[in-house]
Structure 1
Amino acid sequence: MPNKPATPSKNVRVPNDLWESAKAVAKSEGHSLSEVIRKMLAAYVEKRPEPGGKIGL
């Protein structure tokens, strides 16, 4: 399949104002919002202290 993305698409619910603000910040820093989200999710997973541990949000 031509132009097949390397990763599958996911759906999340995000308020429009937050999405647009995050997209603008990512663009101003030379990143895509998808790239920022992937990096943030990876950091979230890495911070987990141990299986079953919780991270305060």
Structure 2
Amino acid sequence: MNMCTLIDEKNKDQLIAALLDLDIYKMPDGRQFYEATESELKNQFLLRTNYIS
């Protein structure tokens, strides 16, 4: 199972927790995580962990 598949299986709360673990506290535009969509959170996680292709 690759990282993208693992990320796709995470829910919004898990994605927020993963971003917080990376010391990321807001979306790039300043919004709080709860204001972002699950897709936006996934993209931020993948960008921050260099898994986006």
Flag whether TM exceeds 0.5 (same fold): no
TM-score by length of 1: 0.29
Larger RCO: Structure 1 or Structure 2 (Cα < 8 Å, ≥ 6 residues apart)? 2
TM-score by length of 2: 0.30
Say which one has the larger Rg: 1
**Structure with the larger helix share:** 2
